[in-house]
Structure 1
Amino acid sequence: MRWLESATGIFKRQAGEAKKARIAEDDDETAPHLALGRRGERMAMKFLERTGYRIVASNFRLAVGRNTRGQVIHNEIDIVAYEGVTLCFVEVKTRQSDVFALPESNVDRRKQRQITRAARVYRRMFNLRAVPFRYDVVSVLLPPAQADGSVVPPQLRLLRGFWTEEHFRKRRWLHSPADY
């Protein structure tokens, strides 16, 4: 468990820096959709803690590779947490209405691939390859206040194991060479 203590120290330092940056960003000029997303992520973290998750990091951004032009590609994991011994990579999706689609519908194949790639780098970086892990989604529905001024309570749903890595593994990784 020493690795967890050292990793926690690293995350706390990064969280402090991220919090300072977030405070600087949380001004009146923030785009409404970004403010909504931040609010949803804060609510999701509290929800996960009440559910029994132990939050390790939030908005964890890391370099995952380079594109064809040689530019560094960064991906972000909204929340990294533990539920028991299982490492959970959590994506938070927030919407004001579910008239057209549920919030989790925005976690499409492309987004799943990005998070999976970032999670692989994260697990390699902190030597967590042997730790069980999964990909979760927290769906947050924050309806605006009603015309009469009444406030509709937010709806949060936790979708455990929303996807697996199997979709993104190359065929040669799934089977032994003798199978071909």
Structure 2
Amino acid sequence: MTYARNKSIGNYGERLAADHLRSLGMVVLAQQWTCRFGEIDIVARDGSTLVICEVKTRTSTRYGGPFEAVTGHKAARLRRLASAWLEAHDVHPPAVRIDVVSVVVPPAGAPRVERIAGVA
């Protein structure tokens, strides 16, 4: 698979994930926010909780599902990114949560979107 195709599928998955979060009543504050530590796919607000959301998009689960791609190392990086976002925006929410949204885009049929809240 080419880089451009992977990027296109990833962007599509992030759009689906943002729509899914909105359907759950969340407010999307930012998408693809970058800093020196990396990128946050989606920053949202769920009530008074700030949600840092990692989106994993796959076209198949042949090599494992999207949730399996979020390792302990990745979770630690997401915590650093959350701190950087809070500092950059000078906000102090009562709670911060890290969620993962899995998007599987099969060759035929509708994409499947699932979320696990509070992974790290």
Does TM-score exceed 0.5, indicating one fold? yes
Q: Aligned partners of 2:6 and 2:84: how far apart in 1?
A: 28
Aligned equivalent of 1:6: none
Counterpart residue number, 1:22: none
Query: What secondary structure does 2:107 align onto?
Result: coil
Q: TM-score, normalised by structure 2?
A: 0.91
In the alignment, structure 1 segments of 5+ residues that lack a partner are: 1-28, 64-73, 146-151, 164-180
Deviates more, 1:154-163 or 1:99-108: 99-108
Change (3 A) 1:52 1:130: closer
1:40 deviates by 0.3
Paired with 1:110 and 1:162, the residues of 2 have a C-alpha distance of 12
- Alignment RMSD, CA only? 1.6
Structure with the bigger RCO (C-alpha within 8 Å, sep 6+) is 2
Residue identity opposite 1:105 in structure 2: E
Matches within 5 A, 1:137-156: 137-145=100-108, 152-156=109-113
> Aligned partners of 1:79 and 1:33: how far apart in 2?
18
Normalising by structure 1, we get a TM-score of 0.62
**Amino acid aligned to 2:35:** L
Larger radius of gyration: 1
Q: Secondary structure at the match of 2:118?
A: strand
* 2:9 corresponds to: 36
Question: Relative to 1, partners in 2 of residues 1:30 and 1:98: Cα closer, same or farther, differing over 3 Å?
Answer: closer
Q: Which has the higher helix share?
A: 1
What fraction of aligned residue pairs are identical, expressed as a percent? 34
Amino acid in the other structure paired with 1:45 = A
| Aligned residue-pair number | 119
Poorly superposed stretches of 4+, deviation over 3 Å: none
Structure with higher strand content? 2
Structure 2 residue identity aligned to 1:133: V
